[in-house]
Structure 1
């Protein structure tokens, strides 16, 4: 039975009505900008490999028809979702076109005199294929001359095989230009999404609301695009041309592209792009129609807020006087020099303010949570729609600055070595009594104090996960917090928590560790991925050495498991008792414990060593619980 949330309480309705006063609801310019340049609407549906419907734009029709938000949605988030709901093929300026909102990210195509340059390839092959078909039908049938990845996140490269083939790239006909060295880009793009991919995918299912129904009690877009839909194909092709310093230029498709290298910003490897002939600029995800994450809730490396500001300012110095349009890999463009400069200055100052105020309060002795409760953007920044928290939020970005600059400890000795959650919960509930905890939780809920209600009930649920009444009441409280949240990721987390408490763990619908990404990993990262599967206790007393000969790469790597750790290095291990030979695809399967892959490999030596190795490996359940122990 499909999940349908309960309605908003009177307290939540009042909170959302009062929130309207914090926002410039009279400013509707974004709606006109999002509609500007429409060439063709999206086709009715997006189909998967088996012919199944994986995305239907009509599923978001509930966002139309009423400008005023329902009581179950924060009015700012409702407005942003109504803007994002617009999708299709758009002309940005002559020579630049975007397909928007058949995927969480945009497909940007620059038409040069000699070919098409595709900037970012969406998250899925299906969406990118649909987007390119629209380009072919309405814009140009010129060949793809180059692909550009603006940064290392999956929603900007996952659809690349819907744009070009591996053969076109391997032959050198179509370069893939990306920030950083090729090795560095691969490392960050694949390592981030695969090595911690099981945890990241589970957390992302919460943050992006992919387990929720599409309705005013559930998912109302991701704030920067529609959600990445289940059942899609995620592909990967390594870059062939790395941008490692600001000022580098490339001629692509008969046009000059100039790059500003901006590492350690929204992604470990990122760059801004200037096309002088078109007076067109993109700052990738360092400038958006939203406040971005300094620390993602799905889980990724903490970013440097100061670098956001630093590179946006450098961009203004280089091209601010000349830029006439700013287009991004998410949401809609900004036109006119004044508007472009205003966007970049406003976003620069927002990230700088967050960075500086967080550290000011840290230097006064505040903890991350205390600082996050205090910091408010000045009105000149906070009332701008593009600085609202549709991806990151001010609250968790302030805390992220602490994490980036000061580390995990908040400075309070009590948090240095606390008891684990279940043990803490058990002790609190024994001390207070389950009936009293439940009664106080209900009292907090009825008073509309939902933050306190979920904190109280968390201990009771962790001490007794089968306490049905506590689970239901905590779910109700999480739900109301979700209805009040401006940030769609906070909304997704709260509402998915409510769903899991009521219905149990929901099966995963999307995984970052696709076959394509695993096989594309550099060999050293492939061994790193295998290493995080090793159960340290099982391997503590083991000492085994195996050589892996990658026949298609003409490389041999030595793997040794000793002291509970898997290490690998190029070259053969002199004392190895076994050599396993095969293609990278076969050896990847062997490393990850797939017995079927071993049948396709050539073994020279003691085959039992493989079985001893496989016995050391852990399995990752993609559906681990989040709101219960």
Structure 2
């Protein structure tokens, strides 16, 4: 997070800069990276052949999915979604290049999947149920009640959700929102809540806001604690700064791209806690299912029996999902996930319509049963076979190279690794049970990448390593070329020949990748090898509406995790924090190079007391507090030693949201 001046003391400043806050869904830098050095490579003969071979092994011409994706089409948007300052957040024409045959630079299976996700617009699923697809990475579902629309998942941002709802109202009628369902605690499913209804409307009209137990905790916790690192890595996962082109971003796996607008949240007033929990919203009878700990720590699915409809939220999507996203997250339980899908099969009854909050629906009871069965068995197979090989002493890399899905599963395009990937999921299962250590003592305390790279180069020489990598590249042995070149670049980030060859290697690996996330990561790595990290980090002002609803304890936990321990050794500062508008009081103190806090009355022996409103605190964290909000504000004052307060906040790290990944 950028440092925000908080107080001037004799010409000196202390800053509140420890809280690098970014949403789990992947809010990275808010501007396109410019000035890419070099140009993207063409597909090598190895890639062309590998992609052609994959196309032969799959039924990529089956039209059923495209019929499903287009069924019920009402209208398609055009133009752009813009922020209040005119910044383009979404361009509906940017993926037009996906029409026609797959490019040599895109895995043909991924190309087909990207074409399915490019079916953008308002669709009628069945009487009284509509979906807005392609307005953001997720779907917004609208269910007609007696008096208005029940909105399921209000997308990522206020701009995209308000645009989508307005678009729907033009075609379906200007009805009020009479219910809001947020299926789980990932920001692409709640971030646009304030774009469809305000908190005041919820209160005055007593609108049900439905989420599962633990939703608010999970929606805010890890985003605050590790938001900087997760947000930076998510730029790789979602290919945020890549050009939309056959040599760049073609998809995310779950949808086209993320709308990086204003993020908000509404606390639920109806909590789903049971495995089956009936509820009526605006005359529509739902049966909700609490399904925590699989795709998300807090998640629900639901059915509408009268419409013979089941919504799988994100436990089901038209892709193999992640057990551990490459951006980072808490590891997910593959065995529990498969059990939830068995429960879905048991409860399916005479359901004829499946929808979810990503990708296209499915019609027909038998087709739905087959789809859920295959998804169930993908996660169970991944879990069981990884555990079997773990118990036979194989390491994560060895297991990932050995396990393949049986043809009975791999032939189903709706369960292939467009978002998740089998090799990555295998390693997630291993980590879930045994952690990151593979049991080999050589890996208990390995050298860090830069030091390891230097030692390798001292041994074999950079020129020899690059030459060997070039030979591997020419043979199409890209994994080995990447491993060699990574050592060279980590040892010397100024070795331009190695960086360019590594960039070309990553491009070829991206062109072959079936997973959109892997493709985006490889191609972003190539881009940054040529141009460096993004020039600008996340604009935290987009999070202001959400931060206003985050418990203060989350901020203080993140501050404690930002303490520069090496500088805090021997320090014993004690600071009182008083939030004058919410009447919250905290004591913060450093002991044994650890920052602690407790809620309670101010300490009499504190070095200083900082009193301010919570709104100013949040504005400071979001990076939007100006001089009048802080130094000149009557709502902020310091008593005690201002110098000690400066020194205390000087111990809090200020993480950079654009740290390097492929170089050091």
TM-score category of the 2 structures, normalised to the smaller one: over 0.9
Separation in 2 of the partners of 1:590 and 1:351? 43
Q: Is the 8 A contact 1:198 1:511 kept in 2?
A: no
Q: Which residue, 112, 128, 131 being the options, matches 2:164?
A: 131
Give me the whole-angstrom Cα distance separating, in 2, the residues matched to 1:366 and 1:46. 49
* Distance in 2 between residues matched to 1:175 and 1:507, nearest whole Å: 43
The residue matched to 1:145 in structure 2 has which SS?
Answer: strand
Query: What is the deviation of 1:553?
Result: 2.3
The answer on 1:556 being equivalent to 2:589 is: no
Which of 488, 510, 514 is the matching residue for 1:460? 488
C-alpha distance in 2, partners of 1:534/1:322? 56
Other-structure match for 1:623: 658
Is 1:27 equivalent to 2:62 in the alignment? yes
Q: Is 2:208 aligned against 1:178?
A: no
Q: How big is each residue's C-alpha offset from its partner over 1:41-100, in whole Å with a ceiling of 9 and x where there is no partner?
A: 113222221234322221111001x23x11100000000011111100011111111110
What are the residue-to-residue correspondences of 1:227-238 with 2, within 5 Å? 227-230=257-260, 232-238=261-267
CA distance in 2, matches of 1:25, 1:90: 24
Identify if the C-alpha distance between structure 1 residues 240 and 541 changes in structure 2 by more than 3 Å, giving closer, same or farther: farther
Cα distance between partner residues in 2 of 1:337 and 1:591: 50
CA positional deviation for 1:592 = 8.9
Task: Say if 2:609 is the partner of 1:609.
Answer: no
Cα 1:595/1:159, change in 2 over 3 Å: closer
Asked if the contact 2:208–2:281 (Cα under 8 Å) also holds between the matched residues in 1, the reply is no
How far apart, CA to CA, are the structure 2 residues paired with 1:23 and 1:252? 43
Q: 1:556 to 1:486 in 2, by over 3 A?
A: same
Partner of 2:200, secondary structure, is helix
The CA deviation string for residues 351-394 of structure 1, in whole angstroms up to 9 with x for no partner, is 11111111011011111111111111111111101111111001
* Equivalent-residue separation in structure 2 for 1:164 and 1:23 (angstroms): 44
Sort the Cα spacing of 1:592 and 1:48 in 2 relative to 1 into closer, same or farther, 3 A: closer
- Tell me if 1:112 matches 2:141: no
| Aligned residue runs from structure 1 range 361-440, under 5 A | 361-440=389-468
Which deviates further from its counterpart, 135-144 or 589-598? 589-598
Residue 73 of structure 2 contacts residue 124 of structure 2 at CA under 8 Å; is this kept in 1?
Answer: yes
Aligned pairs (5 A) from 1:131-280? 131-171=164-204, 173-180=206-213, 184-230=214-260, 232-280=261-309
Q: TM-score, normalised by structure 1?
A: 0.95
Report the CA distance between 1:516 and its aligned residue. 2.8
Matching of residue 5 in structure 1 with residue 35 in structure 2? no
Structure-2 residue corresponding to 1:340: 368
Specify the alignment match of 1:297 in structure 2.
Answer: 326
Matched, 1:441 2:474: no
Query: How far, CA to CA, are the matches of 2:662 and 2:331 in structure 1?
Result: 24
Cα separation, 1, equivalents of 2:205 and 2:557: 30
Secondary structure of 2:481's partner? helix
Which runs of 5 or more structure 1 residues have no equivalent in the other structure?
none
Q: In structure 2, how many angstroms separate the alpha carbons of the residues matched to 1:373 and 1:543?
A: 51
1:286 corresponds to: 315
> What whole-Å deviation, never above 9, does each CA across 1:544-574 have from its counterpart, x for those lacking one?
2222222332322222222222222221243
Output aligned runs, 1:586-601, within 5 Å.
Answer: 586-588=616-618, 596=627, 598-599=630-631, 600=633, 601=636
Deviation, 1:317, is 1.4
User: 2 CA distance for matches of 1:248 and 1:297?
Assistant: 34
Name whichever of 425-434 and 517-526 sits farther off: 517-526
Aligned equivalents of 1:437, 1:42: Cα separation in 2? 51
- What is the TM-score of this pair, normalised by structure 2? 0.90
CA contact (8 A) 1:194 1:517 kept: no
The match for 2:596 is 567
Conservation of the 8 A alpha-carbon contact between 1:91 and 1:98: yes
Deviation at 1:430, TM superposition (A): 0.2
CA contact (8 A) 1:203 1:298 kept: yes
How far 1:541 moved relative to its partner?
A: 1.7
- Choose from 562, 579, 585 the match for 2:615: 585
> What is the aligned partner in structure 1 of residue 74 from structure 2?
39
Match of 1:352 among 376, 380, 386: 380
Superposition deviation, residue 509 in structure 1 = 6.9
